[in-house]
Amino acid sequence: MTALALPHAPGQSRAVPRLLIGLAVVLTAIFVVAPLVFIFWRAFAEGWAVYVANITDPMTRHAIWLTALVAVIVVPVNIAFGIASAWAIARFRFPGRKLLMVLVEIPFSISPIIAGICYLLLYGRQGLLGPFLADHDIKIMFALPGILLVTMFVTAPFVAREVLPLMQAQGSEQEQAAVTLGARGWQVFSRVTLPNIRWALLYGAVLATARAVGEFGGVSVVSGSIRGQTNTLPLQIELMFNDLNTTGAFAAASTLTVIALVVLVVKAALESRR
C-alpha cells in the first residue's frame, strides 16, 4: 500500500489538494464544530448549578422522556417498514412497484410542516375523519398517536433508502441458494438476507433515530404543545427561547445534542466491529 501514492499530473502542484483539504476543515469548523461548541458554552454560561436545574426541571425532563419514547416506538416500526418495502421492491416484480418506490421517497421531498397539516386536515376535529374519531372518543391529534404518526411519516424513507440499493446490488443468488438447500422463508431472511443488509440497516436506523429525535415542524402542528404531556424536546427548546430563557433553551438543546452524539458514537462503535 505504501508504495501506491496518487499520481500527480505534470504541472499540477500539491497546493490544490492542500487548499481543498484546508477549505473542508475550515468549513467544517465553521458550520459544524462552532455551533456545537456554542451550544454547550451557552448551556453552561451560568454555571453547573443552573445547568442541572434547567435539565432537571420537570417539564424539560418530561420533554426529554417523551422524545426518547417517540424514537423508541418509531424507529423499530421504521425498520420493519423499511425492510419490507426494500425487500418487495428489490426482489419482486409487481404492478405498482415503481409507484411504491416513489411513495417511499415522498417524505424526503415534502416539508414536514405540510405533512403535519395534512394529518391535521385528515384527523382533526374539522377534518375528514374528525367526526368519526370524536364519536368514538379516539384521540389522535394533540396526543401521542399524532406525534408518532407525523414522526413516522418524516422518517419513513431512511431505512428503505439505505437498504434498497444494497439489496439491488447484491441480487438474490444467495437467497436462491439457501432455498435450494432447503431453508424455509424465515431462515432465509434471518440467516442470509439480514446479515447481508445489517450495516445498511443500522445506518438507516441511526439516521432515522436522529431525525425522529430532532423533528420540529410537523410535530409542532399536531402536538398542541401541552406541557408535561405532548411537548417534545425541540418544542420545549423553542418555548424557552421565546420566553427569553436562553440558558434553559441551550441546556435543553445540549441534551438533544448529547442524544445525537451518543447515537453517532454507537454507530461508530458498531461499525468498527464490522
Partner 1 sequence: MTFPKLRLAALALVLGASPALAQDKLLNVSYDIGRELFEALNPQFQTYWQEKSGRDVTIDQSHAGSSKQARAILEGLPADVVTFNQETDVDVLAQGGMVAENWREAFPNGASPYFSLPSFLVREGNPKGIEDWDDLAREDVQPVFPNPKTSGNARYTYLAAYAYALAQNGGDHDKAQEFLGKIFANVPVFDTGGRAATQTFAEREIGDVLVTFEAETKSIAKQYADQGFVPVTPSMSLFAAFPVAVVAENAERAGSTEVATEYLNWLYTPEAQDTMAQNNYRTTDAEVTAKYAAEFPQLELVTVDDVYGGWEQVTADHFAEGGILDKVFVNR
Q: Which stretches of the chain bind partner 1, using CB under 8 A?
A: 65, 69, 72-73, 76, 120, 124-127, 130, 134, 141-142, 144, 220, 224-229, 231, 239, 241-244, 246
Distance, in Å, from the CA atom of 269 to the CA atom of 190, rounded to the nearest integer, reads 23
Integer angstrom CA distances of residue 2 from 6, 15, 17: 11, 22, 19
**Min separation Cβ 59 and partner 1, Å:** 9
At 132, phi and psi to the nearest 5? -60, -50
- List the one residue out of 115, 99, 76 whose CA is nearest residue 204: 76
Distance, in Å, from the CA atom of 50 to the CA atom of 251, rounded to the nearest integer, reads 9
Integer angstrom CA distances of residue 270 from 42, 96, 144, 176, 210: 32, 36, 31, 29, 16
**Angle of CA points 246, 264, 78, to nearest 5°:** 100
**Min separation Cβ 5 and partner 1, Å:** 47
Classify burial at 42, counting beta carbons within 10 Å of its beta carbon; exposed 0-12, middle 13-18, buried 19 or more. middle
**Min separation Cβ 24 and partner 1, Å:** 29
**Min separation Cβ 150 and partner 1, Å:** 14
At 61, phi and psi to the nearest 5? -60, -40
**Min separation Cβ 108 and partner 1, Å:** 25
Of the pair 105, 238, the CB lying nearest partner 1 is at 238
**Min separation Cβ 196 and partner 1, Å:** 21
Of the pair 126, 180, the CB lying nearest partner 1 is at 126
Of the pair 59, 179, the CB lying nearest partner 1 is at 59
Of the pair 94, 186, the CB lying nearest partner 1 is at 186
Of the pair 144, 263, the CB lying nearest partner 1 is at 144
Distance, in Å, from the CA atom of 162 to the CA atom of 237, rounded to the nearest integer, reads 31
Of the pair 89, 250, the CB lying nearest partner 1 is at 250
Distance, in Å, from the CA atom of 232 to the CA atom of 226, rounded to the nearest integer, reads 9
Sign of the dihedral through C-alpha 233, 237, 239, 240: positive
The one-character DSSP state at 8 is: P
**Min separation Cβ 70 and partner 1, Å:** 10
Of the pair 90, 239, the CB lying nearest partner 1 is at 239
